[in-house]
Structure 1
Amino acid sequence: MKYLIALLGLAIVLGLAWVASSDRKKIKFKPVALMIVIQIALTFLLLNTKFGLILITAIADGFGKLLEYANEGIMFVFGGLANDGQAPFFLNVLLPIVFISALIGIFQYFKILPFVMKGIGFVLSKVNGMGKLESYNAVASAIVGQSEVFITVKKQLGQLTSQRLYTLCASAMSTVSMSIVGAYMTMIEPKYVVTAIVINLFGGFIIASIINPYTVSDEEDILVIQEEEKQSFFEMLGEYIMDGFKVAIIVGAMLIGFVALIAAVNNIFDMVFGITFQGILGYIFAPFAFIMGVPMNEAVAAGGIMATKLVTNEFVAMMDLANVADTFSERTLGIISVFLVSFANFSSIGIIAGAVKGLHEKQGNVVARFGLKLLYGATLVSILSAIIVSIVL
């Protein structure tokens, strides 16, 4: 039965992408089919094999160690702020971003990350039927973040067509930044975080290939990566540490605002209609939860968490999931966890459009115009990834 539901889900997701396609005649179905097969194979490898277990355990342990190191610095500054046995969200989940951001800066400085990003991007370009720039950008988005990635391709922004620009922005919204992966792993199971990151890379290309099909000529397919301004090691380190702290503060501020707003709106809806706002959204998104493989008796609750992620952000939704995790089956937890690991929400439209506009005003306006279509595609990527995972769970 789960395979029939998965096939139905795949047909619906690909159909919804086809309906929104800008040029259906140019869709390349062979790369799409190949990438779906690769997604299923990688998901099986990561979640259902001994090798996958060893790999994910190693990654989780690695991030666990990083969080331990980060905690040394946090306790030095904030030690004694929390009572024994308490685990403040800001200290335990958000502040480690500062340390991981510093590590990313070090790997960037010594040219390790650019080498990895170009290498993986080159391999991806042989599979996805798109250009080297699009493939590099998808990998870079998953490492340096959805706004910072555009700095690395600054030289080419002005020459990009709106179609190529859409693909770059879709990749940025469909992935997550490596600097906050450790934070995710404190809230949901690491194996689902790792799996989502891997298959979202291909999912972004699958949906973009259908919604936004085009062909890149060899003359256009030139990858020019913007070199960072030459800094001393400690200048760079200080900059990345401050950037990490800014991200932690921004995420914290967003959480305060969104969680408080949802609590207020839920209370108003409950008093007026006898059902919370999230409850209503749960019914709206329940059909999508069902085609993702969530059982009907859990679909409404799962749909509410999915909707929360869309209208707020993934952190708020992960907190909600943690609060009701014991009411879900292990299969549902895995499916919803994978769905949550992306930047597909309304606030990301402003973040990405603002990042591009800061580098090239005209192209930033182009991004703003297709913002809703961008979110539509990125949400389909999250649903597609969840369906793929439901096949092997």
Structure 2
Amino acid sequence: MKIVYLILSFLLVFIIGFIFSSDRKKIKARPIIIMIVLEFILSWILLNTKVGIGIIHVISDWFGALMGTAVQGVNFVFGGMENKPGATFFLNVLLPIIFISILIGILNYIKVLPLIIRFIGFILSKINGMGKLENYYAITAAVIGQSEVWLTTKKQLGYLSKKRLYTLCTSSMSAVSMTIVGSYMQIIQPKYVVVAVVINILSALVIANIVNPYELDKEEDKLITDDTGEKPAFFQMVSDSIMDGFKVAVTVAAMLIGFMALIYFINDIFTFIFHISFQKLIGYIFAPVAFIMGVPKQDIVQAGSIMATKLVTNEFVAMTDLREIAHHLTNRTVGIVSVFLVSFANFSSIGIITGCVKALNPEKGDVVAKFGGKLLLGSTLASILSAAICGVFL
């Protein structure tokens, strides 16, 4: 039966992608098949083998230790302020992002991170036949985040075609930064976070190959990164990383406050007028998608509600909702929905990406704004593809 759900999911993703494709004649089956096969292999290794499970345990334990270390710094400033359940989330889940940001900054400063990114990007480009920039960007977005990644390629931004720009934006929305992975692991099961981070990179490129196919000649296939500037002093870099991490934590907190309040407000209005909450209503709308992805039929309305909440608000809001009802759901539902949630595919991300690009190149920012809806569609299809593939092994 799992294979049936997988086939249905593939049909959903590929038919919608084909309908909205910018050039159907240029869709290449070979790189798509290769990347999907690679996704299956990676998902199977991480979810169903001793080696993969061991890797996930090591990664989750490592992030757990980092979060514990980070909380010590938080407690030094805010010790004794924790209450139940008020400040716990902000203090123990969001503020540790600052410490993770420092570590990412250090790895980037000593050139370890750029070396790893370039190596993996090079290998990936040989596998899927896509451009060097596309693969470099896909890996980089998964490490440093959807906003910061644009700074690494700003010199090349002005020369990018609309199609290449779309591919980069899709990777940006489908990936999540290492900075907040630890925070995700505090809300949902770490193994699903790790698997989603890995295979979302490939899913985004698969969808880009369908929705946005194009040919690159050798002259276009260049990678120009912005790593020639003057290197800041070490402690200046640490200070900048601290502030970057703090901005992320506060931004996420502000988004949660606003969106959670808005959801409660809309739910109250819908309940008063229609005698059904807004989240339950959109749950019915998204229930067929959840069913096609392989969610057991008794959970499809609740799963659909969480999926829709993520698209309308953000992944943190949806993950919090999932955590609250996870004990009422099957393990398979929790796994599929968790993988779906680990990405930046939501309406607010369109504005974030548009703003980032516009700050570096106003003309290209206007281009991104015009395909915002198609960008959300592509990144959502990538999330569905990742969740459906993982569902086979749950």
Pairwise TM-score range, normalised by the shorter structure: over 0.9
Corresponding residue for residue 338 of structure 1 = 339
Could you report, residue by residue, the CA deviation over 1:318-376 in whole angstroms, capped at 9, with x for unpaired residues?
A: 00000100110001100000000000000000000100111011001100100110000
**CA shift at 1:113, angstroms?**
0.7
The verdict on how the C-alpha distance between 1:2 and 1:140 changes in structure 2, with shifts beyond 3 A counting, is same
**CA shift at 1:304, angstroms?**
0.1
Could you report, residue by residue, the CA deviation over 1:211-264 in whole angstroms, capped at 9, with x for unpaired residues?
A: 000011111111111015421000111001001001100100000000001001
Q: Secondary structure at the match of 1:66?
A: helix
Corresponding residue for residue 326 of structure 1 = 327
Corresponding residue for residue 389 of structure 1 = 390
Are 2:346 and 2:376, in contact at CA under 8 Å, matched by a contact in 1? yes
User: Which TM-score applies when normalising by structure 1?
Assistant: 0.99
Corresponding residue for residue 253 of structure 2 = 252
Q: Secondary structure at the match of 1:392?
A: coil
d(CA) in 1 for partners of 2:82, 2:220: 55
- 1:1-393 matches, within 5 Å, as 1-83=1-83, 88-227=88-227, 228-393=229-394
d(CA) in 2 for partners of 1:220, 1:63: 39
d(CA) in 1 for partners of 2:345, 2:230: 31
**CA shift at 1:129, angstroms?**
2.2
Are 2:8 and 2:293, in contact at CA under 8 Å, matched by a contact in 1? no
One-letter code aligned to 1:377? G
Could you report, residue by residue, the CA deviation over 1:12-62 in whole angstroms, capped at 9, with x for unpaired residues?
A: 111111110000000001111111111111100000000011100000010
**CA shift at 1:298, angstroms?**
0.6
Could you report, residue by residue, the CA deviation over 1:297-320 in whole angstroms, capped at 9, with x for unpaired residues?
A: 110110000000000000000000
The verdict on how the C-alpha distance between 1:118 and 1:263 changes in structure 2, with shifts beyond 3 A counting, is same
d(CA) in 2 for partners of 1:240, 1:87: 24
d(CA) in 2 for partners of 1:271, 1:12: 35
Could you report, residue by residue, the CA deviation over 1:184-218 in whole angstroms, capped at 9, with x for unpaired residues?
A: 00001110000001110110010000000001111
d(CA) in 1 for partners of 2:231, 2:359: 21
One-letter code aligned to 1:343? F
Work out the percentage of aligned pairs sharing the same amino acid: 58
d(CA) in 2 for partners of 1:245, 1:84: 23
**CA shift at 1:83, angstroms?**
3.9
Note the aligned Cα RMSD (angstroms): 1.0
One-letter code aligned to 1:383? I
Which stretch shows the higher mean deviation, 190-199 or 223-232?
223-232
The verdict on how the C-alpha distance between 1:286 and 1:348 changes in structure 2, with shifts beyond 3 A counting, is same
Are 2:81 and 2:87, in contact at CA under 8 Å, matched by a contact in 1? no
d(CA) in 2 for partners of 1:5, 1:99: 41
d(CA) in 2 for partners of 1:25, 1:123: 27
The verdict on how the C-alpha distance between 1:168 and 1:271 changes in structure 2, with shifts beyond 3 A counting, is same
d(CA) in 1 for partners of 2:307, 2:84: 34
d(CA) in 1 for partners of 2:87, 2:329: 24
d(CA) in 2 for partners of 1:391, 1:2: 6
Q: Secondary structure at the match of 1:389?
A: helix
d(CA) in 2 for partners of 1:308, 1:57: 29
d(CA) in 1 for partners of 2:47, 2:311: 26
d(CA) in 2 for partners of 1:387, 1:229: 45
d(CA) in 2 for partners of 1:184, 1:108: 22
Q: Secondary structure at the match of 2:392?
A: helix
d(CA) in 2 for partners of 1:82, 1:38: 44
d(CA) in 2 for partners of 1:151, 1:281: 37
- Which consecutive unaligned segments of at least 5 residues does structure 2 have? none
- Which consecutive unaligned segments of at least 5 residues does structure 1 have? none
